[in-house]
Amino acid sequence: MAAMHPAPGTIYRPPSEANSLILRATIGCSYNRCTFCGMYRDRAFRVRPLAEVEREIAAAAAIDPGVRRVFLADGDALVARASFLEAVLAALRRAFQRLARVGCYASPQALAVRTVAEMARLRELGLTLYYLGVESGEDRVLAALEKGVDGAEMVRLANKATSAGVKLSTMILLGAGGEALSESHAQASAAVINRIQPRYLSTLAMMPVPGTPLFEAVEQGTYAEMAPLALARELRTFIARLELGGTIFRSNHASNYLALAGTLPKDRGRLLAELDAALADPDAAPFRAEWRRGL
């Protein structure tokens, strides 16, 4: 279903929410400091008035009362007051009888302010899935990205959500450490993901966006984008180190050069074989052309 447009600015959502109703409970990101992220630099963070959000839900229900999935935008809806989120979720349940899932991005900062009890209550009301940009498990990489947390804190915060019964969809940013930290980034990221045991896991490839500190770093020569083959090597190291009990893995985001998909641990051998084939014969590998990449 189409996204609602109550405020200016591009609306972002994860690829898996392509068919969801996108409801902007908040505008922008309250943190807004990650060096690679240009999504919300054009807008100040604010929580939208509840009445405005409720009107929008009613308008969406008038168009399509059969909505089953909703994504709460923008970047950091979970940081809003729990009472506000409860009211939004209640309005969604009233409007959409077939509602099956509500998801949102969860910054580490939002996970830090939400209690487990609040997250469990919100889950009971339908907010069952958080998208968490872990980005890396390597503390030097996390510091360079200005995520605001180290790997241990990321695990602690992610596990708060898991203990509240919320499913996690985690993202790792390939190339985030550059060539110099590639091996360490891959290994430490796998270690952190192993401790989180997310339901979903995806990789994105670092893409410098104009207007971000990362883009400036590229211009100043302090960060260099990694080549597709080097990223494939990094991804191979990462997947080889994963020890997961049941996680759906995707590298199908448009930023990736190689699109892989499988369930871990079942498909690990196949995924590694696909990467080995690409590394052994790059000319024959289905690398996405640069012009077809995007965020």
Q: Where are the beta strands (DSSP E) in 60-109?
A: 69-73, 101-105
Give yes or no for residue 107 binding ligand SF4 (CB under 6 A): yes
Determine the Cα–Cα distance for residues 40 and 135; give it in Å rounded to an integer: 18
Smallest gap from residue 155 Cβ to ligand SF4 (A): 17
Name the one residue in this structure whose structure tokens are 């180290």. Answer: 150
Determine the Cα–Cα distance for residues 36 and 144; give it in Å rounded to an integer: 10
Judged by CB, which is closer to ligand SF4: 108, or 228? 108
Nearest of 108, 105, 287 to residue 205 by alpha carbon: 287
Determine the Cα–Cα distance for residues 120 and 126; give it in Å rounded to an integer: 10
Smallest gap from residue 43 Cβ to ligand SF4 (A): 11
Give yes or no for residue 31 binding ligand SF4 (CB under 6 A): yes
Give yes or no for residue 34 binding ligand SF4 (CB under 6 A): yes
Among the residue ranges 34-42, 57-65, 120-128, 280-288, the one whose residues contact ligand SF4 (CB under 6 A): 34-42
Smallest gap from residue 41 Cβ to ligand SF4 (A): 8
Give yes or no for residue 149 binding ligand SF4 (CB under 6 A): no
Judged by CB, which is closer to ligand SF4: 76, or 274? 76
Smallest gap from residue 145 Cβ to ligand SF4 (A): 8
CB 227 within 8 A of CB 182: no
Determine the Cα–Cα distance for residues 4 and 11; give it in Å rounded to an integer: 9
Judged by CB, which is closer to ligand SF4: 148, or 265? 148
Give yes or no for residue 75 binding ligand SF4 (CB under 6 A): yes
Smallest gap from residue 30 Cβ to ligand SF4 (A): 8
Judged by CB, which is closer to ligand SF4: 6, or 148? 148
Determine the Cα–Cα distance for residues 33 and 26; give it in Å rounded to an integer: 17
Determine the Cα–Cα distance for residues 259 and 240; give it in Å rounded to an integer: 17
DSSP class of 292: G
Give yes or no for residue 32 binding ligand SF4 (CB under 6 A): yes
Q: Taking the CA atoms of the chain, what radius of gyration do you get in angstroms?
A: 19
Nearest of 172, 175, 208, 209 to residue 191 by alpha carbon: 172
Among the residue ranges 25-33, 90-98, 154-162, 192-200, the one whose residues contact ligand SF4 (CB under 6 A): 25-33
Smallest gap from residue 110 Cβ to ligand SF4 (A): 8
Judged by CB, which is closer to ligand SF4: 27, or 278? 27
Nearest of 161, 204, 288 to residue 12 by alpha carbon: 204
CA 25 to chain centre: 17
Give yes or no for residue 37 binding ligand SF4 (CB under 6 A): yes
| Residue type present at position 68 | R
Judged by CB, which is closer to ligand SF4: 96, or 131? 131
DSSP class of 79: G
Judged by CB, which is closer to ligand SF4: 75, or 228? 75
Among the residue ranges 37-45, 123-131, 221-229, 263-271, the one whose residues contact ligand SF4 (CB under 6 A): 37-45
Determine the Cα–Cα distance for residues 246 and 264; give it in Å rounded to an integer: 6
Judged by CB, which is closer to ligand SF4: 146, or 267? 146
Q: Which residues bind ligand SF4 (CB under 6 A)?
A: 29, 31-34, 37, 39-40, 75-76, 107, 133
